[in-house]
Structure 1
Amino acid sequence: MKKTLIMLLIITSFVNATSFSKSKKILTKKIYYDNQNTFYCNNPYKQQKVNKRYKTLIIPNDDFYTPRKKYYKSGKINTRAKRVEWEHVMPAYNFGRQLKCWQNGGRKACKKDKLFKKMEADMHNLVPAIGEVNANRSNYRYAAGSPKVGQYGKCMVQVDFKGKKAYVSDDIKGDIARIYFYMSERYNVKLSKRDIKMFKIWNKQDPISKWEKIKNKRVYKLQGNKNRFIN
Structure 2
Amino acid sequence: MDMTRLILALLACCVCFSVSSKDFTRFSTAKKHLIKTLPHNAKSLYCGCDIKKQGKKLVPDPTGCGYVPRNTFTRSGKVNQRALRIEWEHIVSAWEFGHQLKCWQNGGRKNCRKVSEKFRKMEADINNLAPAIGEINADRSNYRFGMLGGAATQYGQCDVKVNFKQRVVEPPFYARKKIADAYAYMQKTYGLKISKQQQKLFNAWQKQDLALKSTIQKM
Equivalent position SS for 1:86? strand
- Mark the CA change 1:25 to 1:178 in structure 2 (over 3 Å): closer, same or farther: same
- Letter matched to residue 181 of structure 1: A
1:23 corresponds to which of 27, 30, 33: 30
Q: In the alignment, is the contact (CA less than 8 A) between 1:174 and 1:208 conserved in 2?
A: no
- Cα distance in 2 between the residues matched to 1:26 and 1:63: 26
Equivalent position SS for 2:210? coil
Structure 1 alignment gaps of length 5 or more: 1-13, 211-231
- Cα distance in 2 between the residues matched to 1:95 and 1:69: 29
2:39 corresponds to which of 21, 33, 42: 33
- Cα distance in 2 between the residues matched to 1:44 and 1:146: 27
- Cα distance in 2 between the residues matched to 1:83 and 1:125: 19
Highest CA radius of gyration, 1 or 2? Answer: 1
User: What do residues 6-63 of structure 1 show as CA deviations (whole Å, max 9, x unaligned)?
Assistant: xxxxxxxx73x53111111111222x223321010011121114xxxx3211123274
- Cα distance in 1 between the residues matched to 2:88 and 2:61: 17
- Cα distance in 2 between the residues matched to 1:136 and 1:157: 11
**1:215 corresponding residue in structure 2:** none
Matched, 1:178 2:185: no
Runs of 4+ deviating beyond 6 Å: none
1:80 corresponds to which of 70, 79, 82: 82
Instruction: Give the TM-score taking structure 2 as reference length.
Output: 0.82
Quote the RMSD (CA, aligned, Å).
2.1
Q: Which moved more, 1:126-135 or 1:60-69?
A: 60-69
**1:110 corresponding residue in structure 2:** 112
Q: In the alignment, is the contact (CA less than 8 A) between 1:23 and 1:122 conserved in 2?
A: yes
2:125 corresponds to which of 122, 135, 144: 122
Equivalent position SS for 1:110? helix
- Cα distance in 2 between the residues matched to 1:128 and 1:40: 9
- Cα distance in 2 between the residues matched to 1:133 and 1:144: 17
Q: In the alignment, is the contact (CA less than 8 A) between 2:27 and 2:123 conserved in 1?
A: yes
Equivalent position SS for 2:54? strand
- Mark the CA change 1:114 to 1:209 in structure 2 (over 3 Å): closer, same or farther: farther
User: What do residues 153-179 of structure 1 show as CA deviations (whole Å, max 9, x unaligned)?
Assistant: 000101100000001111111111111
1:195 corresponds to which of 193, 198, 219: 198
